[in-house]
Amino acid sequence: MSMRTSWADSVSAAENAAAGGGGNRSTYVPPHLRNRSASSDSLAALPQGGPAPVNAAPTGGNRWAGPRNDYNRSGYSGGGGGRGGGWNNRSGGWDRGRDREVNPFGDDDSTEQESGEPENTGINFDAYEDIPVETSGDNVPPPVNTFADIDLGDALNENIRRCKYVRPTPVQRHTIPISLAGRDLMACAQTGSGKTAAFCFPIISGIMRGQSAQRAPRMPRTACPLALILSPTRELSSQIHDEAKKFAYQTGVKVVVAYGGAPINQQLRELERGVDILVATPGRLVDLLERARVSLQMIRYLALDEADRMLDMGFEPQIRKIVEQMDMPPPGLRQTMLFSATFPKEIQRLASDFLSKYIFLAVGRVGSSTDLIVQRVEYVHETDKRSHLMDLIHAQKANGSHGKQALTLVFVETKKGADSLEYWLCSNGFPATTIHGDRTQQEREYALRSFKSGNTPILVATDVAARGLDIPHVAHVVNFDLPNDIDDYVHRIGRTGRAGKSGLATAFFNENNSSLARSLSELMQEANQEVPAWLSRFAAKASYGGGKNRRGGGRFGGRDFRRDSSFSRGGADHYGGGNMSGGYGATSGYGAGGGYGASGYGGSYSPGVTSAWD
């Protein structure tokens, strides 16, 4: 009860200060002002020294060392002694109830066991012990072994508990301290490695500590996020947003998502209500920037997820526009994290342009984790694929659990192919739906929901669903059409075998896939899968045909990209030099393609990790 008035007071104090008497009726309260109870705090109570220039932060390295008494306040976590005391209980908060924070964890912590085991059991934690991890760079902060080793703050710790994260994944163990130290990072990490949490925790924590009292400029209709997370697909952005909201629950840090295909007005409204962390796809963000509805001048954290994917998709111009040609602070004055599964020269270039004195991190995939996925390859002629699929689904049906049919994800190569296969399945009595880029966003989201819920246990998808998407409980991934790229294959099969559950991946192979034969059989061998003799023969043939073999074939510590002739063309060692600034970087060891993530089939690929770790 007193809390309510406290909050209200706090808000009006903040408003008065922020509006400067200008009659601005914005209800947005910067995060560093939110977590304080008004009775004792006011603007003047900001951490000592008052306003620190925001730009002093990233390279300073020491900004975390100061007293951090501006969060975990009594009004917040201490509360009535019960956990989650603060926000939940208020009946009208600083926002006057207009945007009551929905509990992203569902109704109550205590009901979480209702449907079987908690999400995180079954993870083979021991498998994490011997994951190869390589870092390079100057003064790399040591990894942590537990979340408790890191001072993320009570609110965040509580959310980690709610997420049931027991121990940090390798990418988290390394990334979080690096990031908390204010360092830039280029990381080889893929879906399933826990990277969303790895970059969200430090961002949220940093924003909460945000000692910068620098106010957002007074631009009533322009949102000024402190952190930007870019990702290649709408669904991935949406998923990151969902995760980030869990991590930020009751921290006062506001997360907003913006992507195309959805009505922009709602997103604009959300933005107007204030945003600390903006998750976005590049196209929509450019739109928002051009409308001046978003300004990047306050950005302190930038995370680029699936960077190689974004470049594949032709986003480089938009990304460069966003990062270099708008009003975002330059490298060194912001903290940048670049995540990519592979390191072709385009990515190297991006890294040397976007990052400052960065640390390079490559996390190997979890030991023998692909053991959790049984991979089968079957020789199927183009014309036989449908009937073959029908057989598989029938067999699957027999295995279904809880009276529900197990979820089957079917990958095809084209959007038309997806539609026609879906139509065929449906007209043959199989409940199927489809997701691809020709469908409206509404249809895509509906399809995904319907699939996840089990209402439509068969989902036909193009590669839009291959990467990053977290669909729990997929029992079977069928590569109806194999991709041309082994990385895509790895991503696709990674949709199953999650959360420590076993998964099955079946591929239909025929002459059309010759180019994949070699890398596919290598991958399967590495994962202790049975490679059919006929596939080995295809592989042997293809290795001479010069098909699309894997570059270098190297493992950890492959080719040095600077020795790649195509790389040094037009300026020997340009990138090497660029990356070497300060002696960091993806220098030897992680080649352009021949390096870690590329050849190791997902250097950090780690299926068998629960959804929340993505």
Residues engaged in binding DNA (CB under 7 A) = 232-235, 259-262, 264, 280-287, 290, 312-315, 413-417, 436-438, 462-464, 484-485
Nearer to DNA, 284 or 476 (CB): 284
Nearer to DNA, 264 or 326 (CB): 264
Distance between CA atoms of residues 404 and 240, nearest Å: 28
Distance between CA atoms of residues 415 and 435, nearest Å: 8
Nearer to DNA, 188 or 280 (CB): 280
H helix or E strand, kind and range, residue 240: helix 234-248
Nearer to DNA, 260 or 431 (CB): 260
On the 0-12 / 13-18 / 19+ scale of CB atoms within 10 A, 251 is: buried
Strand partners, 294: 223
Nearer to DNA, 314 or 403 (CB): 314
Terminus-to-terminus CA distance in the chain, angstroms?
Answer: 39
DSSP annotation of 313: T
Q: Which of 487, 518, 516, 525 lies closest to 604 in space, CA to CA?
A: 487
Nearer to DNA, 43 or 262 (CB): 262
Q: Which of 202, 221, 252, 288 lies closest to 87 in space, CA to CA?
A: 252
Token pair in block for residue 148: 């408790």
In sequence order, what E strands does 91-210 have? 133-136, 185-188
Q: Which of 162, 216, 181 lies closest to 29 in space, CA to CA?
A: 216
Nearer to DNA, 200 or 460 (CB): 460
Nearer to DNA, 149 or 242 (CB): 242
Q: Kindly state the smallest distance separating residue 235's Cβ from DNA, in Å.
A: 7
Nearer to DNA, 268 or 531 (CB): 268
Q: Kindly state the smallest distance separating residue 247's Cβ from DNA, in Å.
A: 23
Q: Kindly state the smallest distance separating residue 456's Cβ from DNA, in Å.
A: 17
Amino acid letter, residue 360:
F
Are the beta carbons of 173 and 145 closer than 8 angstroms? yes
Distance between CA atoms of residues 76 and 10, nearest Å: 13
Q: Kindly state the smallest distance separating residue 270's Cβ from DNA, in Å.
A: 14
- The C-alpha angle with vertex 278 and arms to 276 and 280, in degrees rounded to 5, equals 180
Q: Kindly state the smallest distance separating residue 538's Cβ from DNA, in Å.
A: 18
Distance between CA atoms of residues 230 and 289, nearest Å: 14
Q: Kindly state the smallest distance separating residue 480's Cβ from DNA, in Å.
A: 13
| Residue 592: CB atoms within 10 Å | 26
DSSP annotation of 155: H
Q: Kindly state the smallest distance separating residue 324's Cβ from DNA, in Å.
A: 17
Strands 474-479 and 458-461: unpaired
Q: Kindly state the smallest distance separating residue 269's Cβ from DNA, in Å.
A: 15
Q: Kindly state the smallest distance separating residue 492's Cβ from DNA, in Å.
A: 13
Nearer to DNA, 459 or 499 (CB): 459
- φ, ψ dihedrals at 255, nearest 5°: -110, 130
Q: Kindly state the smallest distance separating residue 507's Cβ from DNA, in Å.
A: 16
Distance between CA atoms of residues 354 and 226, nearest Å: 17
The upper half-sphere exposure of residue 491, i.e. CA atoms within 13 Å in the direction of its Cβ, equals 28
Nearer to DNA, 369 or 519 (CB): 519
Q: Kindly state the smallest distance separating residue 427's Cβ from DNA, in Å.
A: 21
DSSP annotation of 274: -
Q: Kindly state the smallest distance separating residue 138's Cβ from DNA, in Å.
A: 36
Distance between CA atoms of residues 451 and 471, nearest Å: 9
Nearer to DNA, 369 or 433 (CB): 433
Left, alpha or beta for 257 (phi > 0: left; psi -120 to 50: alpha)?
Answer: beta
Distance between CA atoms of residues 375 and 203, nearest Å: 37
Distance between CA atoms of residues 151 and 495, nearest Å: 33
Q: Kindly state the smallest distance separating residue 264's Cβ from DNA, in Å.
A: 6
Are the beta carbons of 472 and 499 closer than 8 angstroms? yes
Nearer to DNA, 58 or 468 (CB): 468
